[in-house]
């Protein structure tokens, strides 16, 4: 693969739809972020996740030494055609690699771990997290052939461990993947508490609750100087229901359809959801089968770690399910996001090689679409209905709950932790803005709150919390094996090609004679036009010839100029006559 070389526009810039602050675009702050600071200096640098759901990444810096907190990916927006993944801009970390003491992963979701293999490619560093988190993160690192670059160090609930210049405490939180952590950093400027992705679930499936008691104890002694908290659901009032409520709904749904075959889809990392689906199915006398590579892998992993309990006799191979009565089967599948190649999408289109859906089947979609995936999920639901299948999704019954805290829980966290300063993290801008408003209602306002974005750095000192310049915080695009080579210009071209098509003019010019040889050819792709196209194409050939002849007779016969006049003439004609703006590509061959 290519190096993580970036074009200037990819390095600084952002996706076409993403606003980037003028300060960040101007790059007025050196990438090194300036101050290593004197003794006891503490900085937090945000590289991703503040302004989007995804690619979470931050640096906690004590006396110039860096701990990286999460290295996530983001899935591309519709205005990033052809982009596979979006990473945080690693420029700052690459340039300061010698100052990095470790990478800490809060939990196993891809928006926190998916970029690890790309960062480890730049420099090796020990990686800390719960056993499950590390196992999930490892999958991608192994796939990328980077396993030898990584040293994985598992940490336990409640453990406090020295990493670099800083003690880090790993505090249990409930979330939609087991064994997620909030992290407390003991710095010379006081404790920084990062919530991680969390909710306050009083009845979690594994009984492992968000440790509010520990956070409260920290708040009293030594006190929490700075709170960074998950903003995903900061727009939603009230409390996110407990994960265990989904189990009750699933029980009801299964019981009401005793003779029908069930296919339930959810995130493969949502081990507690898989547990509840399994429990509901087995309680109704069904056997369980897994479908989709990541579901099979994660179920095996979670059973091995003792986090998922399925009796051996209740598990059957997917190829054997046709031997059983429909009412004796429950398939747990990947594909809850409508991904085109996933198991559920293939079932919906009748292309799954293991089995075909039948009219009496019930499909339960036990997940919400991630923003941007609504359309794909909707299309899969339509296809399922076309097959006569009953589809139960969260709009039909309560078969899903979020893994993120709503306003009630966010307020509770602030009440328990009593932070001196607060910065919202993990959210679109509107989520973070709502989180700031919520903090105001809790009495944390004015200069005690900062609304930061990707690339912002802040400093914590005896006088308080201050902005401390910016570092490159734009999008780093991955397209196939190419990382960072896709700039703003490439994406703009792809959008034009996708929406308007291309019109090419191929002409041969004899420079000695100063004339156009033959008639230019007009070639189009993806360009829609009406019945008098032939006339238009004829006119196009004529205007290109005329423009080239004029340029030649005026003596300006360099290649660049000939291309420019041909593009301009053809573009004007096409624009005037069709009100369309396809990409115009002149190909001028000189002899
Ligand atoms: Zn998460
Ligand atoms: Zn997340």
**CATH code, 518:** 3.10.20.580
Predicted confidence (pLDDT) at residue 37 exceeds the cutoff of 70: no
Which of 480, 510, 525 corresponds to the end of one domain? 480
Centre of ligand 1 to C-alpha 111, Å, is 7
Asked if 510 and 538 sit in the same domain, the reply is yes
Please name which ligand lies nearest the alpha carbon of 136.
Answer: 1
Asked if 423 and 511 sit in the same domain, the reply is no
Q: Is residue 513 part of a domain?
A: yes
Asked if 317 and 348 sit in the same domain, the reply is yes
Centre of ligand 2 to C-alpha 8, Å, is 28
Centre of ligand 2 to C-alpha 520, Å, is 55
Share of the chain above pLDDT 70, in %: 93
Please name which ligand lies nearest the alpha carbon of 54.
Answer: 2
Q: Is residue 23 part of a domain?
A: no
Asked if 251 and 297 sit in the same domain, the reply is yes
Which of 392, 426, 448 corresponds to the end of one domain? 392
Predicted confidence (pLDDT) at residue 576 exceeds the cutoff of 60: yes
Please name which ligand lies nearest the alpha carbon of 57.
Answer: 2
Predicted confidence (pLDDT) at residue 30 exceeds the cutoff of 50: no
Centre of ligand 2 to C-alpha 143, Å, is 22
Please name which ligand lies nearest the alpha carbon of 56.
Answer: 2
Q: Is residue 187 part of a domain?
A: yes
Half-sphere exposure of 206 (CA within 13 A, CB side): 23
376 to each of 79, 274, 400, 403, how far by Cα in Å?
15, 23, 18, 22
Q: Is residue 397 part of a domain?
A: no
Matching residue, tokens 């030898």: 148
Do residues 274 and 232 touch, judged by C-beta distance below 8 A? no
Which of 197, 201, 211, 230 does the annotation list as catalytic?
A: 230
Asked if 355 and 419 sit in the same domain, the reply is no
Centre of ligand 2 to C-alpha 580, Å, is 41
In the β-sheet with 456-461, what is the strand arrangement from edge to edge? Answer: 151-154, 126-129, 100-104, 65-69, 57-62, 42-48, 456-461, 464-470
pLDDT tens-digit readout, 127-169: 999 999 999 999 889 988 888 878 999 999 999 999 999 999 9
Centre of ligand 1 to C-alpha 424, Å, is 16
Asked if 335 and 255 sit in the same domain, the reply is yes
Asked if 99 and 77 sit in the same domain, the reply is yes
Residue 530 known to be catalytic: no
Residue 532 known to be catalytic: no
519 SS3 class: strand
pLDDT at residue 313, as a whole number: 96
CA–CA gap between residue 472 and residue 59 (Å, rounded): 13
Centre of ligand 2 to C-alpha 221, Å, is 29
Asked if 155 and 259 sit in the same domain, the reply is no
Average pLDDT of every residue of the chain: 90
Domain span including residue 277: 245-392
Structural domains of the chain, count: 3
Share of the chain above pLDDT 90, in %: 76
Which of 392, 425, 452 corresponds to the end of one domain? 392
pLDDT tens-digit readout, 456-472: 999 999 999 999 999 99
CA–CA gap between residue 483 and residue 477 (Å, rounded): 6
Q: Is residue 26 part of a domain?
A: no
Centre of ligand 1 to C-alpha 469, Å, is 28
Please name which ligand lies nearest the alpha carbon of 175.
Answer: 1
pLDDT tens-digit readout, 406-429: 999 999 999 999 999 999 999 999
pTM equals 0.87
Q: Is residue 327 part of a domain?
A: yes
Asked if 179 and 56 sit in the same domain, the reply is yes
**Model confidence at 29, in pLDDT bands (50, 70, 90)?**
very low
Closest to 46 in 3D by CA, of 456, 422, 450: 456
Centre of ligand 1 to C-alpha 272, Å, is 14
CA–CA gap between residue 548 and residue 543 (Å, rounded): 8
Asked if 178 and 56 sit in the same domain, the reply is yes
Asked if 202 and 256 sit in the same domain, the reply is no
Residues whose CB is less than 8 angstroms from the CB of residue 160 and which lie 6 or more positions away in sequence, other chains included: 167, 168, 169, 170, 186
Which of 107, 194, 368, 404 does the annotation list as catalytic?
A: 404
Please name which ligand lies nearest the alpha carbon of 181.
Answer: 1
535, 536, 537, 539: CA torsion to nearest 10: 90
pLDDT at residue 38, as a whole number: 61
Centre of ligand 1 to C-alpha 9, Å, is 30
For 137, the enclosing helix (H) or strand (E) is helix 131-143
In the β-sheet with 421-425, what is the strand arrangement from edge to edge? Answer: 160-163, 166-173, 180-187, 190-194, 224-230, 421-425
Asked if 281 and 367 sit in the same domain, the reply is yes
281 to each of 176, 318, 341, how far by Cα in Å?
20, 15, 26
Residue-wise over 60-89: b if at least 16 C-beta within 10 A, else e?
bbbbbbbbbbbbbbbbbbeebbebbbbbbb
Q: Is residue 579 part of a domain?
A: yes
For 436, the enclosing helix (H) or strand (E) is helix 429-441
């Amino acid at each position: 693969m290519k190096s993580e070389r970036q074009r200037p526009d990819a390095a600084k810039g952002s996706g076409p739809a993403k606003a980037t602050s003028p300060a960040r675009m101007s790059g007025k702050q050196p990438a090194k972020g300036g101050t290593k600071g004197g003794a006891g200096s503490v900085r937090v640098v945000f590289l991703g996740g503040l302004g989007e759901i995804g690619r979470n990444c931050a640096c906690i810096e004590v006396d110039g030494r860096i701990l990286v907190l999460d290295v996530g990916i983001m899935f591309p927006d519709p205005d990033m055609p052809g982009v596979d993944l979006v990473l945080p801009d690693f420029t700052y970390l690459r340039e300061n690699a010698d100052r990095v003491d470790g990478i800490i992963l809060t939990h196993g979701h891809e928006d926190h771990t998916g970029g690890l293999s790309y960062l480890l490619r730049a420099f090796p560093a020990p990686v800390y997290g719960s056993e499950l988190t590390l196992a999930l993160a490892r999958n991608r690192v192994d796939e990328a052939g980077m396993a030898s670059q990584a040293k994985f160090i598992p940490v336990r609930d409640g453990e406090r461990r020295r990493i670099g210049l800083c003690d880090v405490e790993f505090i249990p939180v409930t979330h939609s993947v087991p064994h997620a952590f909030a992290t407390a950093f003991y710095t010379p400027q006081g404790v920084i508490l990062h919530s991680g992705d969390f909710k306050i679930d009083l009845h979690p499936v594994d009984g492992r609750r968000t440790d509010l008691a520990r956070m409260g104890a920290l708040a009293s002694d030594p006190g929490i100087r700075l709170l960074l908290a998950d903003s995903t659901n900061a727009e939603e009032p009230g409390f996110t229901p407990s994960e265990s409520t989904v189990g009750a709904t699933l029980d009801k749904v299964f019981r009401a359809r005793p003779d029908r075959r069930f296919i339930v889809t959810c995130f493969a990392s949502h081990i507690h959801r898989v547990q509840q689906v399994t429990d509901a199915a087995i309680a109704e006398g069904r056997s369980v089968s897994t479908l989709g590579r990541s579901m099979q892998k994660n179920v095996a992993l979670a059973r091995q770690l003792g986090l998922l309990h399925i009796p051996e006799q209740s598990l059957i191979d997917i190829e054997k399910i046709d031997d059983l009565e429909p009412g004796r089967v429950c398939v747990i599948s990947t594909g809850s996001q409508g991904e085109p190649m996933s198991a559920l999408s293939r079932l919906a289109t009748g292309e799954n090689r293991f089995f075909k859906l039948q009219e009496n089947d019930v499909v339960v979609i036990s997940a919400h679409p991630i923003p941007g995936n609504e359309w794909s999920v909707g299309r899969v639901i339509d296809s399922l209905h076309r097959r006569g299948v009953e589809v139960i999704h969260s709009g039909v019954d309560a078969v899903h709950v979020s893994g993120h805290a709503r306003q009630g829980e966010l307020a509770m966290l602030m009440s328990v932790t009593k932070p001196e300063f607060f910065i919202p993290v993990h959210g679109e801008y509107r989520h973070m803005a709502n989180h700031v408003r919520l903090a105001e209602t809790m009495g944390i306002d004015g200069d005690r709150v900062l609304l930061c974005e990707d690339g912002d750095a802040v400093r914590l000192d005896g006088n308080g919390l201050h902005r401390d310049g910016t570092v490159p915080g734009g999008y780093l695009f991955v397209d196939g094996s190419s990382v960072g080579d896709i700039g703003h210009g490439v994406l703009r071209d792809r959008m034009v090609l996708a929406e308007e098509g291309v019109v090419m003019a191929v002409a041969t010019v004899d420079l000695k004679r100063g004339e156009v040889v033959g008639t230019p050819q007009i070639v189009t792709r993806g360009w829609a036009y009406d019945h008098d196209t032939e006339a238009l194409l004829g006119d196009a050939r004529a205007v290109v010839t005329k423009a080239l002849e004029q340029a030649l007779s005026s003596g300006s016969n360099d290649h660049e100029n000939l291309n420019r006049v041909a593009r301009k003439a053809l573009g004007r004609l096409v624009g005037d006559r069709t009100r369309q703006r396809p990409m115009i590509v002149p190909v001028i061959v000189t002899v």
